[in-house]
Amino acid sequence: MIRTRGLTRHFTVKKETVEAVRGLDLHVEAGELVALLGPNGAGKSTTLRMLTTLLPPTSGTAEVAGLDVTADPRGVRARIGYIGQGNGAAHSQRGRDELVSQGRAYGLSRTAARARAAELIASLDLEGVADRLVSSLSGGQRRRLDIAMGLIHAPDLLFLDEPSTGLDPQNRANLQEHIAALRAEHGTTIVLTTHYLDEADQLAERVIVIDHGQVIADDTPERLKADHAGDRITLTLGHERDARRVVAERLGVVAGGRVERAGAQVVIETDGGARLAPKLLRGLDEAGIEVAAVEVARPTLDDVFLNLTGRSLREESATTGEAA
């Protein structure tokens, strides 16, 4: 469905070159639900804008829905849906009318456009609000209407640029359910960008991690976590000196496990944390070390990003005022 080779985009800002996307080789099969995950400025939107023909590549090629984005941009646009960041239906119109107009713009007859609009209104749970002015809809309802707009011509491939940014957790969860349901019902190939780690983890079957305009990892969330991050055992000990001793003598810590200490807390990153934790506790007990609390956590995609780049995606998002 998508194949890019060496896809590259530079911008020139005040005589300086910004290498927004640097030689991406992407391959997305029909029916996949893929998330492009990366910090602000990683190049996700620029990639999407090239794949949707909104921006010409500086170099490299991209084939989308069987057509070359540079040679046949109109053909590509007819076969895809694209929902950008913050674009959307006109606020002074009613949602249903906007959908019908959009359908007409794609060449559907009035009857077909109405039927398709009704179908999307039902499947995106907009029945109660589709006949209201768009300006009166909530953020989550508006985002669902945007998605309906992008799907009016029944494209095989849908691009969503940060679909849930700005929504509260409940609306985000609701939108994610709708995206998953669309895929299940229609088999639409979906490519979305996000910097919400849990969204990529729960929704996508495949996560392509992008940093500084390049792919740094590409796999299922489970395999990314298994390959690039371990479980995390957090021990809170009674005294800081005990924590120092655990680290210095690597008490109960298996070979290869990474150990860090902060005050009386020791964090051990290791494979098979649930299996190791009881052994570890027995070892500490035998050494006469008191344990106040223990927690075993499975790795997150943030741990994957941290291990790959040395930076936390969560912190980077926080510094730019975004929640991740």
Ligand X SMILES: Nc1ncnc2c1ncn2[C@@H]1O[C@H](COP(=O)(O)OP(=O)(O)OP(=O)(O)O)[C@@H](O)[C@H]1O
| Smallest gap from residue 322 Cβ to ligand X (A) | 8
Q: Specify the pairing of strand 157-161 against strand 214-219.
A: unpaired
What is the total count of residues that contact ligand X (CB under 6 A)?
Answer: 13
Picking from 235, 220, 223, 253, the residue whose alpha carbon sits closest to that of residue 296 is: 235
| Smallest gap from residue 86 Cβ to ligand X (A) | 11
The answer to whether 42 contacts ligand X (rule: CB under 6 A) is: yes
Helix (H) or strand (E) holding 12: strand 2-13
Of 43-51, 243-251, 295-303, 304-312, the segment contacting ligand X by CB under 6 A is 43-51
Picking from 288, 286, 239, the residue whose alpha carbon sits closest to that of residue 266 is: 239
Contacts of 97 (CB under 8 A, 6+ apart): none
Which one among 8, 46, 188, 189 touches ligand X, defined by CB under 6 A? Answer: 46
Minimum CB distance to ligand X smaller for 34 or for 126: 34
Question: Phi and psi at residue 246, in whole multiples of 5°?
Answer: -55, -45
Of 38-46, 86-94, 137-145, 167-175, the segment contacting ligand X by CB under 6 A is 38-46
DSSP H helices, 70-138, are 73-79, 95-105, 110-123
The answer to whether 164 contacts ligand X (rule: CB under 6 A) is: no
SS3 210: strand
| Smallest gap from residue 19 Cβ to ligand X (A) | 8
Q: Within 10 Å of residue 114's Cβ, how many Cβ atoms?
A: 16
The answer to whether 279 contacts ligand X (rule: CB under 6 A) is: no
Q: Specify the pairing of strand 16-24 against strand 2-13.
A: antiparallel
- What is the distance, to the nearest Å, from the Cα of residue 141 to the centroid of all Cα atoms in its chain? 20
Tokens of 229: 């991050």
Residue 51 contacts residue 24 (beta carbons within 8 Å): no
Which one among 3, 5, 32, 41 touches ligand X, defined by CB under 6 A? Answer: 41
Question: Which of positions 77-106 make contact with ligand X (CB under 6 A)?
Answer: none
| Smallest gap from residue 185 Cβ to ligand X (A) | 28
| Smallest gap from residue 314 Cβ to ligand X (A) | 14
Which one among 23, 31, 32, 40 touches ligand X, defined by CB under 6 A? Answer: 40
| Smallest gap from residue 204 Cβ to ligand X (A) | 16
Contact string (CB under 6 A) for ligand X, positions 178-217, x = contact: -----------------x----------------------
Query: What is the rounded distance in angstroms from the CA atom of residue 215 to the CA atom of residue 278?
Result: 38
Which one among 22, 44, 143, 144 touches ligand X, defined by CB under 6 A? Answer: 44
Minimum CB distance to ligand X smaller for 13 or for 255: 13
How would you classify residue 317: left for phi > 0, otherwise alpha for psi between -120 and 50, otherwise beta?
alpha
Which one among 2, 7, 20, 191 touches ligand X, defined by CB under 6 A? Answer: 20
| Smallest gap from residue 53 Cβ to ligand X (A) | 16
Contacting residues toward ligand X, per CB under 6 A: 11, 13, 18, 20, 38, 40-46, 195
